[in-house]
Structure 1
Amino acid sequence: MAVAELTAQDTSLTAMRLMASGRMRDAREMLEAALRRFPGDISLWLNLAVSHRAGGDLTSTLATLDSALRVDPRNFLALLMRASVLEAQGQQRQAAQAYGVALTQYSPHGHYDEPTRRAVARAQQIHEAYLRELEGSLRGSVAELSSPRGPAETRRIDQMIDHLVGRRKVYTQKPTHFHLPGLPSIEFFEREEFPWLQRLEGATRDIQRELAGLLADPDQSGSVPYVQYPDWAPLDQWKPLNHSPRWSAFHLLEKGLPVPANADRCPVTMSVLADMPQPRVPQRSPVAMFSLLKPRTRIPPHHGVANTRLVVHLPLVVPDNCGFRVGNETREWKVGQAWVFDDTIEHEAWNDSDELRVVLIFDIWHPYLTEVEREAYARIMTSMDAVTGTVADGGI
């Protein structure tokens, strides 16, 4: 069969056989001729780069790979080979950066031959060393600042560096329903912003006693499954927990009103909640509950309803092997130590123990909302509910 009649795939296979037999020049000439007919075929470019590399012509190899990447800018093998050529040329810094780019296109579940797997391992080693060097330089540059910095500033600076070197993913607010622009995406807020936390935490033992009374009921009739979607709704990640007692709640405040069966039995808890800066939106807020997560149960990653509120956790019953993640930050609950977080940032929870986990959960106004914004938001919600005739689950 004449060369002109070969398909791009046939040409690549023939060229590979020529290279295997040491006929590099013949392989290059065949590939170059084929590329005049099939300039958009990535396999031809890659094989031509291999032939140049085998012949020791690193400059032509690099130029050929650049041509390949103009055809397919995200081609993993082209990116990986390009980084290795830069390394062979002694351009160590550029090679480390190029390896990082290549690794963004690497699939751990892909089917690669042994030489490629070895090349990937080397790429990871070189890029990781580069990131350590970069991280050390960045942290050193802010070790001694001209002005003193507090814990919150230190954490934000550290997180910025983590983002720069790829240690942290950028998580932002993604409310499922209601979004007020201009509010910052903060995973966990600093305790100093909420002086009332001391009042909340100081009541932990009394709240635990009231919770124990609810839990002592043989049938725990006051608790209901937390996730309650219609069976016809798209359930996605909620299917295992829909209508399941594995994640349930003793609701204390629901859609702005007390739930008498539970609230009347928890006077101290209700008194404490009355002192919290909870939203006041008719038929929506405030909300509060004892959240019960049964053993060996996980709440999947999800986002909250509205960024106009934050969520407070007061841990009450916490066995070992429980955890909670918001964005990049993972914490363990500790009984009596509350925290405040933005639930419109992706978050998840788990109880990998053999015992029940219980947390008091309630909403508060986002502290960065002005009084005018709070009033406007409440009016908007009330107006919307009047028009639609329905109130979405999830409170505010």
Structure 2
Amino acid sequence: MKNEQQQSPAEFREKARLGLRQGDQALAERSYERLLETDPDDLEALQQLASISLARAEASRAIELLTRAHQASPEEPFTLHQLALARMTDGDMQGAVNDLRRGLELKPDMFLARLRLGALLDELGQTHEALVATFNALNTAQAKGRWLNDETTAPELRDAVKRATQFVLAGRRSLFNDILEPLRQRYGASELVRVEQCLAIYLGEQKATLPDSRQQPKFLYFPGVPSQPYYPRERFPWQAELEAHTAAIREELLSVLLQPQDFEPFLQTDSPQDTADLLRSSSAQQAAWDAYFFYRHGERYDAHAARCPQTAALLDALPLARVREHSPETLYSVLRPGTHILPHRGVTNTRLVTHLPLIVPSDCALRVGGEVHEWKEGRCVTFDDTYTHEAWNNSAETRVVLILDTWNPDLSEAERAAVADLVGAIGDFNRASEVPVPKG
């Protein structure tokens, strides 16, 4: 048998790992120390010896080892997480925060590190920053199938995760409650009863009771308004004026169609597969759904408006649903020959979608909640896109409609103002938390 002087670094590593597996801490520690004699920057040895030191409450020794590990491997995020734990044990909370932030810059999906960051920030009195970090941690973990319940949470973390969940629930409730307070003062609390219910549903404090099973908003359900796939045109007096200018709108459309480079895919997806999941082609031509935006997610396309001044002016005169960084969304929607937009749902019933058909070949239609509507050029159709809906162009020609979103007419002035402020605040908070902001 070889004596220790004759053993290779690989043999020391294997003996150290054997010690860890068997619970022989002395063997593991001795073997890792010998490994460091041959390679002072060995990351595994430095990290494991630091863990052994922390288990003995030797925080200073752990910090020294982990500082060496970080200097040797500065792009290794878990070292910084471990270093933060050592600093916490040593009482250096701000140093721990700094280490966690540096580690999360390297690997943003370390949800346990972010959970600890949130707890530290709360301890340091940085309540909003703590709320943002904790919300991100919970969302990241749950997106990976973790921390959904006791079964998906490690036993030693269950209490911490439950505390974090309650912290986020209370924190978001307080944040959004404060957003609504000026509107309560302005309009009176009685005018915002349905908004309060809407917020409670969004926060998961109460269940949504949808009167129509075909309807399912992806983001925000506003209760107490009638549910119907299509809305009667009598609810929208402004449609007559818009329809009267169909010829002028179409003329501007035909001009921009001559420059296809100004159009962009309506679907801004992360991968071709995501697009394929929503578009199909019934012909040899590739499926394509293109857009010439006047507004997208509330951002005005000034150059497009300048090229189509009559269309832009007509749109700006309408009761568009205006929510900072979310809406309106107005565009020429171009469905290429053979393209089928597969069934999908929208984000909220607080606004409705209107189509003004401009170019409609045969064999084109819209289906909302299972009910088919065939477009007629120059005649608006308005629908609630939180119902499952789809559209197709089975012809050999291009179909174009002008799309715009307006407030649901069953919301009062106070409710519209409250929804706009509330959705804007949700968007701000989600962006700060690096959680996807619902749009559409």
Output the TM-score relative to the length of structure 2: 0.48
1:341 and 2:383 are equivalent in the alignment: yes
**Alignment-derived partner of residue 392 in structure 1:** 437
**Alignment-derived partner of residue 367 in structure 2:** 325
Identify the match of residue 230 of structure 1 among 264, 267, 270: 270
CA 1:254 to 1:386, structure 2 compared with 1: closer, same or farther past 3 Å?
A: same
Distance 1:316 1:239 in 2: 22
CA 1:359 to 1:336, structure 2 compared with 1: closer, same or farther past 3 Å?
A: same
Distance 2:350 2:330 in 1: 16
**Alignment-derived partner of residue 28 in structure 1:** none
CA 1:359 to 1:176, structure 2 compared with 1: closer, same or farther past 3 Å?
A: same
**Alignment-derived partner of residue 192 in structure 2:** none
Q: Residue 226 of structure 1: CA displacement?
A: 0.9
**Alignment-derived partner of residue 369 in structure 1:** 411
For structure 1, list consecutive stretches of 5 or more residues without a partner in the other structure: 1-169
User: Do 1:185 and 1:345's aligned partners in 2 also have CA atoms closer than 8 Å?
Assistant: no
**Alignment-derived partner of residue 242 in structure 2:** 200
For structure 2, list consecutive stretches of 5 or more residues without a partner in the other structure: 1-211
Identify the match of residue 308 of structure 2 among 232, 255, 266: 266
Identify the match of residue 343 of structure 2 among 301, 306, 310: 301
Q: Residue 305 of structure 1 aligns to a residue in which SS?
A: coil
Q: Which amino acid aligns with 2:412?
A: T
Distance 1:248 1:338 in 2: 20
**Alignment-derived partner of residue 261 in structure 2:** 221
Distance 1:388 1:331 in 2: 36
Q: Residue 289 of structure 1 aligns to a residue in which SS?
A: strand
RMSD, aligned CA: 2.1
Any residues of structure 2 matched to 1:233-312 within 5 Å, and which?
Answer: 237-238=277-278, 246-312=288-354
Per-residue CA distance 1:283-314 (angstroms, 9 max, x = gap): 11111010000001101011111110000000
Identify the match of residue 186 of structure 1 among 204, 212, 228: 228
Q: Residue 268 of structure 2 aligns to a residue in which SS?
A: coil
Per-residue CA distance 1:225-272 (angstroms, 9 max, x = gap): 11122129867832659xx87111001111212212322111111111
**Alignment-derived partner of residue 392 in structure 2:** 350
Q: Which amino acid aligns with 1:183?
A: V
User: Do 2:321 and 2:407's aligned partners in 1 also have CA atoms closer than 8 Å?
Assistant: yes
Distance 1:328 1:238 in 2: 17
Q: Residue 343 of structure 2 aligns to a residue in which SS?
A: strand
- Work out the percentage of aligned pairs sharing the same amino acid: 41
Distance 1:235 1:315 in 2: 24
Distance 1:372 1:295 in 2: 43
Q: Residue 172 of structure 1: CA displacement?
A: 3.0
Distance 1:371 1:273 in 2: 20
User: Do 1:222 and 1:261's aligned partners in 2 also have CA atoms closer than 8 Å?
Assistant: no
Distance 2:308 2:256 in 1: 9
